[in-house]
């Protein structure tokens, strides 16, 4: 992975970590499915009026939008609203890393290298070191919702790899457009008319929450993330997501004043070591095979 793309991955995980603060703030006044619908609705419109659809099958674009919007963030926001701590959610959702690697292996035939597997395992140990310290009293129902959100994120990642190299801004805009109506319908069915009533007098916190989730998070961060997934194997990209909980917990410390602890420092160190090994494994594969296995997804075998 180039230095430029590595820095892009760091920017992505920083924004995604900060997004947990924005989600928590928005859920104080807006129900989760409605907040999710607003996020993707503003990401899609008015941009869809001037940005053409990506050159990809619309079924895949819609599937990506549904996996990301209804699956990942619909379940995640609902879990946080019903008692799942935001910091712990940012940790648990990283189960998507091994799920993505496994799905990419099964669907895209991207077999991870040995050092990448070891590095991913060490990074997951770092996540577990923090999660075990903070998981006491976590409600089982919302916890399962976050696991479902992680599986949905993994599915969205693999769909992006199937789509290949397209205009990522267009993919995010039209994927957001595809998921907005289902989210609105689900909100009205599950959350009732009160979901609309919460929008009658929005406060600045809710407005800021939606704006941060729609633009820096959805369009910028996920646009960059999807671009990385189309250029590199999943095993080389997804370990960076294990930095999201570190960024999330640091942001809650800086913004909300939550204290740091030794488990964060130990877990964060393991995550960094695991990512370094994963990237080293990718470079070793290049030297041993004589070809760039970290090249475009379009060069990978197609199912």
| Separation in Å, CA 101 to CA 8, 19, 68, 104, 166 | 20, 24, 17, 5, 22
Question: Does an H or E element contain 222, and which?
Answer: helix 222-231
Per-residue pLDDT of the chain (303 residues; tens, 9 = 90+): 788 998 999 999 899 988 988 998 999 999 999 999 999 999 999 999 999 999 999 999 999 999 999 999 999 999 989 888 777 777 778 778 777 878 888 888 877 777 767 777 776 777 677 666 655 555 678 878 988 998 999 999 999 999 999 999 999 999 999 999 999 999 999 998 888 887 877 888 999 999 999 999 999 999 999 999 998 888 778 778 778 877 877 776 677 665 566 666 677 677 667 766 766 665 544 444 444 433 433 333 333
Question: Does an H or E element contain 25, and which?
Answer: helix 3-26
* CA–CA dist 290, 299 (Å, integer): 15
Question: Does an H or E element contain 172, and which?
Answer: helix 168-186
* CA–CA dist 235, 199 (Å, integer): 41
Is 137 exposed, middle or buried (CB count within 10 Å of its CB: 0-12, 13-18, 19+)? exposed
Beta carbons within 10 angstroms of residue 201's beta carbon = 8
Instruction: With beta carbons less than 8 A apart as the criterion, state whether 117 and 233 touch.
Output: no
**pTM for this prediction:** 0.79
Beta carbons within 10 angstroms of residue 65's beta carbon = 27
Q: Is 53 helix (H, G, I), strand (E, B) or coil?
A: coil
Is 202 exposed, middle or buried (CB count within 10 Å of its CB: 0-12, 13-18, 19+)? middle
Q: Is 110 helix (H, G, I), strand (E, B) or coil?
A: coil
| Separation in Å, CA 278 to CA 86, 101, 119, 129 | 27, 12, 5, 19
């Amino acid at each position: 992975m180039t230095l430029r793309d590595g820095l892009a991955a760091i920017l992505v995980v920083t924004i995604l970590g900060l997004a947990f603060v924005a989600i928590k703030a928005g859920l104080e006044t807006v129900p989760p499915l409605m907040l999710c619908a607003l996020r993707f609705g503003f990401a899609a419109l008015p941009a869809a009026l001037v940005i053409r659809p990506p050159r990809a099958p619309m079924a895949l674009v819609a599937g990506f939008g549904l996996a990301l919007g209804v699956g990942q963030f619909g379940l995640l926001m609902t879990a946080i609203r019903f008692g799942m701590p935001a910091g712990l959610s940012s940790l648990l959702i990283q189960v998507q890393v091994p799920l993505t690697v496994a799905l990419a292996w099964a669907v895209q035939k991207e077999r991870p290298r040995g050092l990448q597997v070891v590095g991913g395992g060490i990074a997951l140990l770092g996540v577990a070191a923090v999660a075990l310290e903070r998981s006491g009293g976590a409600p089982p129902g919302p916890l399962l919702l976050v696991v479902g959100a992680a599986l949905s994120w993994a599915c969205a990642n693999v769909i992006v790899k199937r789509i290949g190299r397209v205009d990522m801004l267009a993919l995010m805009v039209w994927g957001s457009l595809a998921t907005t109506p289902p989210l609105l319908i689900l909100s009205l069915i599950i959350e009732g008319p009160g979901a609309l009533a919460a929008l009658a007098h929005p406060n600045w916190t809710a407005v800021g929450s939606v704006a941060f989730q729609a633009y820096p998070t959805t369009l910028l961060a996920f646009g960059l993330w999807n671009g990385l997934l189309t250029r590199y194997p999943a095993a080389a990209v997804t370990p960076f997501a294990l930095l999201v909980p570190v960024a999330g917990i640091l942001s809650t410390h800086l913004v909300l004043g939550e204290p740091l602890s030794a488990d964060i420092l130990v877990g964060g160190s393991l995550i960094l070591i695991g990512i370094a090994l994963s990237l080293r494994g990718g470079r070793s594969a290049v030297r041993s095979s004589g070809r760039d296995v970290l090249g475009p997804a379009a060069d990978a075998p197609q199912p």
